Amino acid sequence: MLDEPETRTGGAVAPPVRVVDLGPGVRAGFTTRDGGVSAAPWDALNLGRGVGDAPADVTENRARVAAWLGAVPRFGRQVHGAVAVRADAEPWAGGGAAAPEPACDALVSATPSVALGVLVADCVPVLLADPVARVVATAHAGRAGLVAGVLGAAVEGMLAAGARRQHLRAAVGPAVCGRCYEVPAALRDEVAADVPATWATTSWGTPSLDLPAGVVAGLGALGVHGVTRVEACTRTDPTWFSHRRASAAGSATGRFAGVVALR
């Protein structure tokens, strides 16, 4: 795993990306805040629409990520649920990249020209691949989505597209950690009743949730054992966008992404 420097691909500037290995023939990684054109407070590689950033800047930032990835990533309209959509079929089939983004928190593709992305700023971005059957997926695993079963939806979507469970690999990206994600005790108990690995305590001794640990445990329960985890907390590491950090300062923030494509 490494941070690739800026390069030029087909005339476009490709930003530095935290690369993860999901097997031969798969390009995958997590963008940082660097390498984009957005002004403060979205500086600089904000990939999220609808957070107040200039649309033209977001379009340029997404083009730069596409230059690194080798294809334009498709994103869903994330709603903290457990719906998985085939991104290489409807709703894009009739409208291409300009088609409306479907409400979903998991995307699946078995087509090299159709790359995938998942947007986050504290929730857990998950990238999955079967490099043998050549199927990839993304999952947006926030607290509600994790409990609702978004990981299972992503895996089932991959299996329906031809993936084999024994070949699945995953990368769990940067997210707010259990030492920082303070929640009421009742909420911690409620979530941990469904996902025991999320039960945690903050560094200052109050109830919290460890969503990345819950995701890793959930993937294991689904039979995904080739799991890589990027050990970074978005709340404390300014490399990444963080809604919680920005809210504490009374500011807006951008979104970084996990992206994956078949080569």
- DSSP letter assigned to residue 92: G
**Residue indicated by tokens 């079967």:** 130
DSSP per residue over 10-54, as a string? TTEEEPPEEE----TTEEEEEE-S-S--PPTTS-S----SSSSS-
> What pLDDT sits at residue 63?
96
The predicted-structure confidence for 235-249, as pLDDT tens digits, reads as follows: 999 999 999 999 999
What residue segments make up the domains of the chain, in order of their start? Answer: 7-262
Q: Is 90 exceeded by the pLDDT of residue 8?
A: no
> What pLDDT sits at residue 4?
52
Fold classified for 7-262? CNF1/YfiH-like putative cysteine hydrolases (3.60.140)
Token reading at 60:
């340029």
The predicted-structure confidence for 104-161, as pLDDT tens digits, reads as follows: 999 999 999 999 999 999 999 999 999 999 999 999 999 999 999 999 999 999 999 9
Q: Is 60 exceeded by the pLDDT of residue 209?
A: yes
- pTM value? 0.93
Length in residues, the chain: 263
- DSSP letter assigned to residue 181: -
The mean pLDDT of 184-197, rounded to a whole number, is 98
Q: Are 214 and 198 in contact (CB under 8 A)?
A: yes
Q: What b/e string do you get for 72-94 counting C-beta neighbours within 10 Å, with b at 16 or more?
A: bbbbbebebbbbbbbbbeeebee
Q: Are 141 and 181 in contact (CB under 8 A)?
A: no
11 falls in which pLDDT band (50, 70, 90)?
Answer: low
The upper half-sphere exposure of residue 45, i.e. CA atoms within 13 Å in the direction of its Cβ, equals 26
Strands, E assignment, the chain: 7-9, 12-14, 17-19, 26-31, 73-74, 84-86, 106-109, 115-120, 124-130, 135-141, 169-172, 199-201, 207-209, 226-229, 256-262
* Residue 63 CA: distances (Å) to CA of 38, 190, 201, 245, 262: 13, 41, 40, 27, 18
The predicted-structure confidence for 18-32, as pLDDT tens digits, reads as follows: 999 999 999 999 999
The mean pLDDT of 162-166, rounded to a whole number, is 98
User: What's the CA gap between 261 and 19, in Å, rounded?
Assistant: 12
Q: What b/e string do you get for 9-23 counting C-beta neighbours within 10 Å, with b at 16 or more?
A: eeeebbbbbbbbebb
- C-alpha dihedral (25, 26, 31, 36), degrees to nearest 10: 50
The predicted-structure confidence for 85-104, as pLDDT tens digits, reads as follows: 999 986 655 445 556 789 99
- What is the number of other CB atoms lying within 10 angstroms of the CB of residue 202? 16
> What pLDDT sits at residue 100?
74
Instruction: Report the mean per-residue pLDDT for the chain.
Output: 93
> What pLDDT sits at residue 14?
86
For the chain, state the CA radius of gyration.
17
3 falls in which pLDDT band (50, 70, 90)?
Answer: low
The mean pLDDT of 159-170, rounded to a whole number, is 98
Burial classification of residue 260, based on how many CB atoms lie within 10 Å of its CB (0-12 exposed, 13-18 middle, 19 or more buried):
buried
Q: Is 50 exceeded by the pLDDT of residue 2?
A: no
> What pLDDT sits at residue 89?
85
The upper half-sphere exposure of residue 259, i.e. CA atoms within 13 Å in the direction of its Cβ, equals 31
